[in-house]
Amino acid sequence: MRFDVITLFPDFLAQSAGLGVVGRAQEKSLFSLHGWNPRDYAEGNYRRVDDRPFGGGPGMVMLIEPLQACLAAVRAADPTPAPLIHLSPQGRPLTQSRVRELAALPRMILLCGRYEGIDERFLASEVDEEISLGDYVLSGGELGAAVIIDAVARLQEGALNDAESAAQDSFEGELGLLDCPHFSQPAQHPLGEVPDVLRSGNHAAIARWRRQQSLLRTWQRRPELLDEAVLSKADRKLLEQARQGLGD
Ligand SMILES: Cc1cccc(C(=O)NCC2(NC(=O)c3cccc4nocc34)CCCC2)c1
C-alpha cells in the first residue's frame, strides 16, 4: 500500500504513522507514506496557498493552482493509479467495512483541507471520494488522514502478529457491541479484585462472562447499538440474566 497525503503539515502525518503496529508495518515496508505540501508548488514570491473567499465572510480558502501542481507531482511520482480521497465534514462517515475495502487498494491519495476549505472547482474536478471522521468541527483533515492510515495499515498482510490479529478479529467480530472490561496483575488491589471467573481457567465460562459483559455494557451505555446488533437467542438470555443481576 502506498499512501500519498496532500497537506500543509506533512510532518504531522509522518510522526503519527511512526508508532506501534503502524510504525513497525512501515519499517517492514508493508506500506509507504509520502507527504506533499501544496506550499512547495505555489508560484510567486509569496507562495500563496490560500486567499480570501469570493462573496466575503471569515477565513481563507485553499487555492486551485498549488493543489493542481501538487497533485500532478504526486501522480507523476508513481504510475500506480489511486483515488483522490478528500477528508471532509461533507464526506461519508468512515466505517470498518470501508476501511477493509480501502485496505485492498494498492495506493490512495489523501487530501487534507485547512482554513475554511478548498476551492470547490478543484474538488469537483479531481476528488473521487469524500470521507468524514464525524460531525464535529476540526481544524483540518489531517486527523482524518491519520485515522485512515492507522486503520488501513493495520490490515496490511503481515502488519499484525498472531496475538494482535486475534485482537483485531475480536474487535471486528464485536463491532456493534462495546468491549468487555479487561484486568491484569495484581489479582488483589485496593482498587478491587479481579472477577474470579477470569482466573478460573474455564475458557467457556470466561468467554460467556466476556460476552455477557459486552452485552450488558452496550445495553447500559449505547442501547441504540443493540437495535442494529444481531443477537442470538443465547445473547438475549445472557443479557436478560445480567439485567436481572442488576435488579433493574
Ligand atoms: C461538522 C462540520 C460542519 C461544517 C464545517 C466543519 C469543519 O470542521 N470545517 C473545517 C474543516 N473540517 C474538516 O476537515 C473536518 C471536520 C469534521 C470531520 C472531518 N473528517 O475529515 C475532515 C473533517 C474543513 C476545512 C478544514 C477543516 C465541521
CA 139 to ligand 1: nearest atom = 27
Q: Which residues lie below 8 Å from residue 111, measured CB to CB, with a gap of 6+? A: 6, 67, 84, 85, 86, 87, 118, 127, 141
Q: Residue 91: helix, strand or coil by DSSP? A: strand
Residue 137 CA, ligand 1 centroid: distance in Å: 5
Phi-psi region of 166 (alpha: psi -120 to 50; beta: other; left: phi over 0): alpha
Grid coordinates of 206: 470466561
3-state secondary structure of 192: strand
Between CA 226 and CA 239 the distance in angstroms is 11
- Residue whose CA is at the smallest distance from ligand 1 atom 26: 114
Comparing CA positions, the residue from 49, 106, 114 lying closest to residue 78 is 106
Cα 248 to Cα 243: distance, rounded to the nearest angstrom:
6
Query: Ligand 1 test: best mutation among 62, 88, 90, most atoms within 8 Å of CB?
Result: 88
- pLDDT by residue, tens only, the chain of 248 residues: 999 999 999 999 988 888 888 999 999 999 999 999 999 999 988 899 999 999 999 999 999 999 999 999 999 999 999 999 999 999 999 999 999 999 999 999 999 999 999 999 999 999 999 999 999 999 999 999 999 999 999 999 998 988 888 888 777 776 689 999 999 999 999 999 999 999 999 999 999 999 999 999 999 999 999 887 788 999 999 999 999 987 54
Q: Is the CB of 113 under 6 A from ligand 1?
A: yes
Which atom of ligand 1 is closest in space to residue 138's alpha carbon?
8
For residue 33, the one-letter residue type is L
State the ipTM, two decimals.
0.96
CA separation for the pair 134, 34 (Å, rounded): 25
